[in-house]
Structure 1
Amino acid sequence: MARVWLIRCGLALTVLLASQPAAVAESLPNPYDAFRLTEMAPDNQLPLLGDRFRIDDHVDEITMVFFRDHGTDPVVLILPDGSKWYSSRHPQDVQWESGAGFDQVRIESPMRGPWQVSGALRPESRLMVISDLQFHAEPLPQRIFRGETISVEGRFTEAGEPIEQRDFRSAIQMQLHLVSTNDENHNNFGINPRHLGDFLDDGRGHDVRARDGIFTGEIWFNAPSGPYLPSYQAITPLYQRTYEQSPIMLAELPVQLEVRVSATEGVPHVLDIHVDEEQLQVDDLVLRGDVEYPNGEIQRIDIRTAMGDRLRERIPNYVNGSFAIDLTLFATTTDGREIEATVATYDFMARQPEPAGPTDEELAAIRAEQREAEIAAQVAAERERLRKQRVMLGLIVGVNLVLVLGWIGVMLFRRRGQGKNSGKAKK
């Protein structure tokens, strides 16, 4: 069935691309539009590392879709033995279709070993394989919140049967990456793939039993919000595979923290937690975590709305500095999904409160004192002015008196002198 599906998928893509190659090549805004033409995305691939890839013994058939810059020449395939294939020169059993911006090549029983591809490749190029080896992972929810932690299980099968060789299973490394769909309307536009976690079969953490063939990953979805393609990467000493699932939307956690910082010493700060009731059931929340004080002390927080707790916490106000609030949310979405998520750390600053100001009565008394002081100053200034006037008047009177007395003295002196002169004249 897988072979029939891939042939049908390849033919459909070939017909659609060949009918309008230039238009299709120019209408690919992100790496996954080409596969939406076939209405499904392949989930079993080989990783294309730049311009190189490796075909291992588990590959029965491969379909390669190379997207390249518009108007450039078709790619050239370089086989492990050094031989070269061109769009115009290749074995007859190899199907090769070229357009203005793509090459599609299908090969049955391809040569094992390292291959290379020469051309102006675009990053949306894919290497789809048909193989008896498959990885099956639980489907992720279509909508996941930032900070959410999800336990995911997966297993390998060969020819549809679980792999029983324990040594083989212990050599597998499984990783989950989120690949942005590069929608410019979202926060994850243009970011590189994010490695979110590993799948282990070691009986630790969320893995129930060691080496039982069930790989468990505890995935923390800590990445910018937006649409992603989940990509599982399997690495073993013999081969590498990439398995993809349907796109998911990573949404912002509908929880907001707000602290009303007290400006009065002894009056507590108040933490309010706002929850979007359209996305989470507010009457069935558990919030656990702590508040770290500037002096290193810890205040535990444990809120359970089903037990009647309010989404509010008082934080004692007896130390100044930077506070940090870390919470973990356990909730039920409005569509019934249970979630566990880490709320982004909330920081706030408490500063030394300003000294308490005077009361109205004290202000009235102060103003009365100020008025009395102003009146007293005015009275003193008036008294000083009058004193200066009196002094000035006294000086003026004194000076005038001296002048008058001096003038009288002069007149008397002159009159006496005239009397003597007249006496001498009579003699």
Structure 2
Amino acid sequence: MFRQLFLIGVIALSLALPASANNYNPNDNASQQKIKLLSNRFRVDQAVEALVFIIERKPGSAPIILVRPDGSKLYATRQVDGVNWVDGNAGDMIEIKQPMIGPWQIIGDILPSSEIRLATSLALKINEFPNELFVGEVVKLTARIEFNNKLLALGRVDDLIKLDVFLRSTSDTSAPNFGAGTFTIGQYIDDGQGLDERRGDGVFTGRLDLDKPNGPYTLLVRAGNKVFEREYSQPLYLRPQPVKVDLMSAAIDGQYALRFITNEQAVDMSQMAIQVIVHHPDDTQEHLSISNLAPTHLLRLENVQKPGRYKIDIEVFGTTNDGREFRYNIEQMKVKIEVPAAKEVKAQKVEADKARKAQFKREQLEKRRKAAKQKAEEEKALIIIIVMVNVLILLLGGLLMWLFLRKKKPKKPKADKKDADKKDEKGDKKDKDSKKKK
């Protein structure tokens, strides 16, 4: 029913008001501003040319009553010049041309989803804001106040305008942040400090505290003072941090280490980098970095050993799989290494002495084992040398004997010698006889 009345009201307003007299254009984003009715009060400044109320009420409740700054009241049942009003069972739509400047009030059973649309030459402009961020992410945001579509520079009176940023959890009962409420997460400031570039240039810069429970929120940016107010809102989802860190006290040889676990589904692993700063008890700093991050990565803290208090700051830099760059700080870690008590020192000394003696015994045993092994090897080598020398001597002796026996003629036996002499005599005798015959 209310939707039908809403459409009828829009058509009626467009027909009742001439185009030149109606400065409010629902399709003109440059001139259209919104104010969520967080309370029943709001303020109209001199730059507001027209107001359009879109009021949602409890079903069956009476139309609202508007109280102007001078105390006079506007009713749905009373016609007033410059006021167009359509009411239904669960809401009202009202347009007011050239509204009275000052504080207004609404009387009625309005719902939080109600809002006011302003047609004004004074506008709040917010730079593009991601719909998703990581918990604790560090982001630089800028906003500006424009008057007649031109930047409103405030110079040295930049503190006259205040821009606050809020996060309001949604009513989704299944969300992890259900019931978290509304957080003030920062301010936009034009003071030339921190992330802000120049003071009083009309460009407000904010650094937000997004260390809140993950889940869906409504982001609200509210600008104003006692003279005017503007508001910007959009949905925002805080995602869990893609890199988790655990401090391990006995990871490697009893030393401290940091274990990083990264969600590969959320970030581009090739674009990840981590900066670690270890603050030592003597106020010195140790800088460590990781550029080639693995899904599960262990970073050894070799110098966190001596007694004292250590603080560890970790900053994560990366790019999401969608190409958005991000950075965030992990909550500071603290390590306290106690000074051992006297008894503990004595016990540690005794244990150290025992360890040294055991080590000395092991070393001596190892030396003896090596010496015995060396001696056995030397004896074995000596035996081999002796055997080889003996074999060589035998070979040489045999060779010499063979040579000696080869050169020496063998002696004939006496019987053989007599026979030989007889043969010689017979031969000689034969020769003589032959000669005689001749």
Identity in percent: 27
TM-fit CA distance, 1:258: 2.6
After superposition, the Cα gap between the structure-2 partners of 1:16 and 1:255, relative to the gap in structure 1 and judged at 3 Å, is farther
Quote the Cα distance in structure 2 between the aligned partners of 1:219 and 1:321.
33
CA deviations 1:58-107 (Å, max 9, x no partner) are 11111112222222222222222222222222415422222332222211
For residues 157 and 334 of structure 1, what CA distance do their matches in structure 2 show? 35
CA distance in 2, matches of 1:133, 1:203: 23
Q: What is the match of residue 130 of structure 2?
A: 141
Q: What's 2:274 paired with?
A: 287
State the Cα RMSD in Å: 3.8
Query: Does structure 1 conserve the Cα–Cα contact (< 8 Å) formed by 2:162 and 2:223?
Result: yes
| Residues 298 and 70 of structure 1: CA distance in aligned 2, closer, same or farther (over 3 Å) | farther
Change (3 A) 1:320 1:170: closer
Q: Please, what TM-score do these two structures have when normalized by structure 1?
A: 0.65
Tell me which residue corresponds to 2:80. Answer: 91
Indicate the residue corresponding to 2:181 in structure 1: 192
Q: Within 2, Cα distance between the matches of 1:218 and 1:52?
A: 29
Match for residue 27 of structure 1? none
- For 1:145 and 1:274, locate their aligned partners in 2 and report how far apart those are by CA, in whole Å: 16
Is 2:235 the counterpart of 1:236?
A: no
Change (3 A) 1:186 1:49: closer
CA distance in 1, matches of 2:283, 2:32: 50
- 1:75 maps to 2:64: yes
Amino acid at match of 2:7: V
- 1:115 aligned residue: 104
Q: How far 1:220 moved relative to its partner?
A: 3.1
Give 1:17 deviation, angstroms. Answer: 9.9
Describe the superposition over 1:248-295 as per-residue Cα deviations: whole angstroms up to 9, x where unpaired: 21111111113443299x6213321011122222233222234568x7
Report the alpha carbon displacement of residue 338 of structure 1 after superposing the two structures with TM. 1.7
Name the CA distance, whole Å, in 1 between partners of 2:286 and 2:167.
34
Is residue 57 of structure 1 aligned with residue 49 of structure 2? no
Correspondence for 1:314: 300
The whole-number CA distance in structure 2 between the counterparts of 1:99 and 1:166 is 47
Deviations along 1:155-208, one digit per CA (max 9) or x if unpaired, are 221121222553665522222222333322223323333222222222221222
**Unmatched 5+ stretches in structure 1:** 1-9, 19-37, 357-427
- Name the structure 2 match of 1:272: 259
The answer for the alignment partner of 1:14 in structure 2 is 6
CA distance in 1 between counterparts of 2:242 and 2:231 reads: 32
Which of the residues 232, 254, 276 maps onto 2:242? 254
Conservation of the 8 A alpha-carbon contact between 1:150 and 1:220: no
Letter in 2 for 1:281: D
Amino acid at match of 1:303: S
Alpha carbons of structure 1 residues 59 and 168: separation in structure 2 relative to 1, 3 Å: farther
Distance 1:143 1:100 in 2: 37
Equivalent in the alignment of 2:433: none
Q: Counterparts of 1:322 and 1:257 in 2: how far apart (Å)?
A: 19
Instruction: Report how far residue 45 of structure 1 moved.
Output: 2.8
Deviation, structure 1 residue 319:
6.5
Q: Give the match's secondary structure for 1:283.
A: helix
Structure 2 residue corresponding to 1:304, chosen from 283, 287, 290: 290
Q: Secondary structure at the match of 2:269?
A: coil
Larger-gyration structure (1/2):
2
Aligned to 1:198, what secondary structure does the other structure show? strand
Q: TM-score, normalised by structure 2?
A: 0.63
Mark the CA change 1:196 to 1:45 in structure 2 (over 3 Å): closer, same or farther.
Answer: same
CA distance in 2, matches of 1:237, 1:119: 24
Letter in 2 for 1:55: V
